[in-house]
Amino acid sequence: MKSVWLMLALGVTLTGMNDSHARDTTPAPAATPTGDDPFLWLEDIHGARALDWVKQQNATTAKQFVDNAEFARTRDRILEVLDSEARIPYVNRMGDHLYNFWRDKAHPRGIWRRTTLAEYRKAEPAWELLLDVDALNQAEGKRWVFKGVQCLKPAYERCLISLSPDGGDAVAVREFSIPHKAFVKDGFVLPVAKSEVDWIDEDTLYVGTDFGPGSMTESSYPRIVKEWKRGTPLAAAATVYEGKPSDLAVSAHHDRTPGYERDFVSIARDFYHSDLYQRLGDKLVRVEVPADAEAEAHRDWLLVRTRSPWTVDGSTYPAGALLATPFDPFMAGKRHFTMLFEPDAHTSLDSYAWTKNHLILNLMDDVKSRLEVLTPPQVATPGGDWKRAAMAGAPAMSTINVIDTDPDHSDEYWLDVTGFLAPSSLRHGVLGGAAAEKVKQAPAFFDAAKFAVSQHFVQSKDGTRVPYFEIAPKDLKLDGANRTLLYGYGGFEVSLQPQYSGGVGRAWLERGGVYVIANIRGGGEYGPQWHQAALKANRPRAYEDFAAVAEDLVKRGVTSAQHLGAEGGSNGGLLMGNMLTMYPQLFGAIACEVPLLDMKRYIHLSAGASWMAEYGNPDTADWNFIRTFSPYQNVRTDGRYPPVLFYTATSDDRVGPVQARKMAARMQAQGHPNVWFYENLEGGHGAGADNRQSAHMHAMAYDFLWDQLQ
């Protein structure tokens, strides 16, 4: 059972200098001692001196790239996509209603609303408004950003709404009554913090939050989880579990499935290791699975998803497998599993979803989707026979996601089907019934008939076969002159799959550009082993993969170094920083968004301590390998670097703005030309608190890259 904090990775922000195409092998300089860092003052996020520097940088960058008609046109065309009323209003079922959160031009901060299935099938459903965030902001004089809602089943009348003051991860939590369409007077309220809450019953919550000094982990997440009774002060809440400061986070969850009510406590040690306990009164009983496995109880069953080979009950199961066994016998000591999915060299498990009577597996075959439906035996017995059937899949080069099911009551499912050139369609069905019905279709925002999608594979430096997708004009001339944008991420087991983007289509493809997605190691495209191949000391494998794709694009004649740009955000921003410092000769320009860059100090900045399982601990001997991929330490005065745009947000409380600030300041101080910086005040790690801010961010990156790659 994966805690929300385990799922809160760095995030994916979807959106050459010489003739050599080999890596720049000049030895990196010795790391700059932290005490000698001349730009530590920029780590004072809200300090007057630092913000004055930010304002000056923003003005310079805006004058160059924003204050012109072409930027306004790009931004407005992207904003039309984000604000379009023809977009699909995605829903999730709670009881008899379908709920949706919606932003558009008239509601920039959004509205939370609901309707019925019968209404939703109509071209223009009638919606019942529950909460208008813009009206709330006007009434309270705030700038709240809606961050999600948890409602108490089965009635779904009481909800906990999370509101961020600036788009960051820290939120205020307030109890809301759906029948009254108002916040509950004297209801549950938590001040702004990185909190995690869950309903036990109408008058009781599990809550992990900032209870005062020492109550948060070194990663800035809850260290203590308590049981909080209505009408009592938070200080009086009873402690359920108290973790260590070095833990990533502690959380608790109550399963309200009728007949299977259970309580669990999860202690996340890091992103990939956690201990799960069943709470039985005052006693915690560990669910005895490997610490790096993911375990989830559902009705009679325990599912275990392995990250490393596991030998149990005389059988060895590979990394990336999905196993099932009856929950109660397992807790009593039985250890016989049925393997529901076994990975191979081309196929991995992307996700799974329960319905009342079935389990839907979402598989990836060379990064393309395929669905299977599994039916457990009627009586849950160890080693029982699960029936397996193919489910209607997606078109070629596409992604299909199970976005919602109703596991307590029915075999209903909702599918989202999309591809690089195919706008999303939303399909609704019931397993065992007719084929899924298309109930909503997203509009096309560019003429897809002019383009073609292809998948290619290239050998990386160590011989590993790395896939990448290319979206290009059908009449593409392989003359090396095409402006090409290469996007990547490569971390935290996140997969980059085919997905439609009206913004990319309008801002890049329609101009005549080529768009490429690199499925490099560090991601999850081929399961946990693909991710683990680029952990810690092996992190450079991800960078070698990305460079190999860049070189292959040149070798195939798609583009050349001066016409090849690169873009990435968050962990992908670290990727961009290393393309800048390791492979500057491969690129004509780089857009580096909400990035990690100072890997010497990253664990002391914002939520950086939570990522040591990914990168290592620079305060130990790990620095000997981390220093090789720390762009802030490796940028050199005598280096030659392509033009670069750093984009970040003051309100980003996950990675934080200071790393981009310091990198830009250092490069400018070293005298490098064409180093640009822009910092949005709101938006958190997504760098945009509303659609207009998001459009601004993407337009700036696309226009910058297009201008530089001439």
**C-beta of residue 539 within 8 angstroms of C-beta of residue 465:** no
Which is catalytic among the residues 3, 266, 425, 570? 570
Q: Assess whether the previous peptide bond of 631 is cis (omega < 30° from 0).
A: no
Catalytic, 346? Answer no
Q: Which two tokens stand for residue 632?
A: 């802030």
Beta-strand runs (E) in 387-464: 387-391, 398-405, 412-419, 425-430, 437-441, 451-459
SS3 string, 169-196, reads CCEEEEEEECCCCEECCCCCEEEEECCE
Element holding 554 (H helix, E strand): helix 540-555
Q: Which two tokens stand for residue 442?
A: 């997203």
The bridge status of strand 564-569 relative to strand 224-229 is unpaired
Place of tokens 């994916």: 12
**C-beta of residue 447 within 8 angstroms of C-beta of residue 471:** no
CA-angle at 555, arms to 546 and 589, nearest 5°: 50
Q: How many residues does the chain have?
A: 710
Residue 654 buriedness (CB in 10 A; 0-12 / 13-18 / 19+): buried
Question: First and final CA of the chain: distance in angstroms?
Answer: 50
Buried b (16+ CB within 10 A) or exposed e, 12-33: bbbbbbeeebebbeeebeebbe
The bridge status of strand 171-177 relative to strand 182-183 is antiparallel
SS3 string, 505-529, reads HHHHHCCCCEEEEECCECECCCCHH
* Spacing of C-alpha 669 from chain mean position: 33
The Cα 676–Cα 69 span in angstroms is 20
Which is catalytic among the residues 358, 563, 685, 698? 685
**C-beta of residue 43 within 8 angstroms of C-beta of residue 658:** yes
In angstroms and rounded to an integer, the radius of gyration of the C-alpha atoms of the chain is 25
The Cα 671–Cα 632 span in angstroms is 15
* Spacing of C-alpha 683 from chain mean position: 15
SS3 state of residue 297: strand
Residue 682: what are its φ and ψ, rounded to 5°?
-120, 180
Letter for the amino acid at 288?
E
Q: How many helices (H) and strands (E) does the chain have?
A: 15, 39
Element holding 660 (H helix, E strand): helix 658-669
The bridge status of strand 262-270 relative to strand 589-593 is unpaired
Catalytic, 570? Answer yes
Element holding 331 (H helix, E strand): helix 327-331
Question: Which residues are part of the catalytic machinery?
Answer: 570, 685
